[in-house]
Structure 1
Amino acid sequence: MDEMRLWLEKHYEQKTLRIRNGQLDRKQFQDAFNLKGGTYLVRYERIKALFDEFDERILAENYRPAQLDNDLHRLIDLLRTDPELNRNQLTVNRTRLAKRLRIPLHVLKEGAFDQEIRLHDERIHHRAEKSLVDPLIAGRVFLFSDLPSKWSRFFLEALGSQFKKAFGHVTERDLLKSKYLSLRWSRLPGQFGG
């Protein structure tokens, strides 16, 4: 038991003790002491008590491994570069984000990672509500900003604003989508060399 406590203390102080779902990572411990399966927590009450003690300490001291802090800073930096969004254009694509950061997807759904992504999603939603070019109607963003670059910002703002003015009251998504697609594919000035 003393060896296990010393191992936990050492890794805790060095900030190399991994956590998962706010608790001590059982697998890291298992691997270090060549334990098989999770039954050792039931069979050995002293190990379970040790885990409970460290779980409480992790929570009380808001412990985070150094690698997690590093990954969190990388996430924040990546969020500043406008990462790829989901099809709804209102939320960050976490799967792609995890791949770019080279960290497991489940990490992005926990604690500070989840909080940072949710804050970023809120900023995206706020921007979408205010956008003149890409209006938010009935919970969906209608993109006009990705139209050919020969159209001026002024034209795109007028197009987006008028679309919102004309269809902002419509709640039927299929109708909105058909109006949007017919507008995008109509022959507007500058489209198809005209």
Structure 2
Amino acid sequence: MLEEEYQPRRELPPHLRKAPAPEAPFSYELRDAVLADMPAVREIYNYYVANSTVTFDEDRKSLREWKSKFTYLQKLGMPFIVAEAPSGQLLGYALVSPWKQKRAYRFTVENSIYLGPAATGKGLGRVLLGELIDRSKAAGLKEMIAVIADQGAESSVALHEKFGFTEVGRMGRVGYKFERWLGTVMLQRSLK
């Protein structure tokens, strides 16, 4: 067909077009993590290990490591929550862990929030962080720290700031991943 013979396909006027099927609502339930969740938690985390700089880990975590971490956090009474879809798929998780091992730091925790790729951009990170703060307060914790990569995690910094975290420091060139140097932004929020 010659170019001058080509006619673009005509579209129906808007009032005659079939309405698109409504998108299924994004639904989930927040609950305490259980040991049986660790394979899914591992998969979510290892996706970020392999594909991003939001974690400085370069080696995937094993199921044994995740089970050990879960057991340790349970023993300490630290919040560890998951978001689960009605289908049973784990969409994301949030936890706090001790900021440092010295006893004087026992009321200060560092948070971690990771979402499965299908759950990003839907507000779930905000919900998880809010719930994590509430549960951390209820557990008697007093300070929460967020250590966030200084490149590629701007949305995480913005999210924490919306929840009252303030920047307390930066460290440049402390991590090296994917053939480039990375720094961190440190934010803190009182839970009192």
TM-score under structure 2 normalisation? Answer: 0.26
- The one of the two structures with greater contact order (alpha-carbon pairs below 8 A, sep at least 6) is 2
* Pair member with larger Rg: 1
Higher strand share: 2
TM-score under structure 1 normalisation? Answer: 0.25
Higher helix share: 1
